[in-house]
Structure 1
Amino acid sequence: MWIGMVLAISFVEAPLKFRAPGVTLRIGLGIGRLVFRALNVFEYVFAVVISVALFTHETPTSLNVALCVAVGALLTQTIAVRPLLSRRTTAVLEGDESRRSKAHVTYVALEVVKVAALVCTGVVLVD
């Protein structure tokens, strides 16, 4: 479920919402702020539940490493990168559309890392 939500929101909904008729940059950013805040809450719930389930049982090191990478990417996104994106979003919503945010590229790169780690987690679990 975790990987499905990340793929659906980060790689489908987020870019497509800006192509919808009538959705301006300001509206899209406002929607994105709400959607990603909700996604991150669900991600933390998934991370805690999965971590408790896996780390209270004997599991392969590869599984533990993959899950730690996914959780680490989530933590980095929400603690280090999202505040930068939030400041940029606030500036844009207040009318400052002069510069692009490099933090966005970092956030997307961490999404790719997280998805890869979750795929690895799933593969090891199926094995």
Structure 2
Amino acid sequence: MNGTAAALTFVWLGMILAISFLEAPLKFRAPGVTLPIGLGIGRLVFRALNGAEIVLAVGLGVFVAAGQPGAAATIAAGVAPALLLVQLLVVRPRLSRRTARVLGGEQGPRSHAHIAYVIVETAKVAALITAGALLMVASA
């Protein structure tokens, strides 16, 4: 059970690293990609990523509960889903409103919510690395 939980954790980590820290910034450097086009793509990609994250978080919770890896691993495995909830319930709505305004033609200063999203995403990466490592130790 703990090995499966660790595997889910590292799959989740890989998705975040690939999308949030690779695809997201690179798409704006592609020829012909304007801010509205990049934001439209980002909206679709992050909606799909967040949906996959929810599935992975639920699976992680189920396998951690079944595997009983110990307090440290359990707490570490609970941090990433908690941070995901912060992103979904607090940060994403602000980003979505800003994206809608830009797609509607409005211009203005950059959103501070984007910085908050990156900070929470970075914390989530650290939580997943920690949880994955502790779950691997628990499965040995």
- Shorter chain as normaliser: what TM range? over 0.9
TM-score normalized with structure 2 length: 0.88
TM-score normalized with structure 1 length: 0.97
Separation of aligned partners in 1, 2:105 and 2:114: 18
Once the two structures are TM-superposed, the CA of residue 40 in structure 1 deviates from its matched residue by 0.3
Q: Where does residue 13 of structure 1 map in the other structure? A: 23
Separation of aligned partners in 2, 1:93 and 1:73: 27
Q: Where does residue 68 of structure 2 map in the other structure? A: 58
How many residues in Structure 1 have an aligned counterpart in Structure 2? Answer: 127
Q: Taking CA–CA contacts closer than 8 Å with sequence separation of 6 or more, which of the two structures ends up with the larger relative contact order?
A: 2
Q: Where does residue 98 of structure 1 map in the other structure? A: 108
Structure 2, gaps ≥5 residues long: 1-10
Separation of aligned partners in 2, 1:6 and 1:14: 10
% same residue: 56
CA RMSD of aligned residues (A): 0.7
Q: 1:33 aligns with which of 23, 39, 43?
A: 43
Q: Where does residue 123 of structure 2 map in the other structure? A: 113
Structure 1, gaps ≥5 residues long: none
Q: Amino acid of the residue matched to residue 50 of structure 2?
A: N
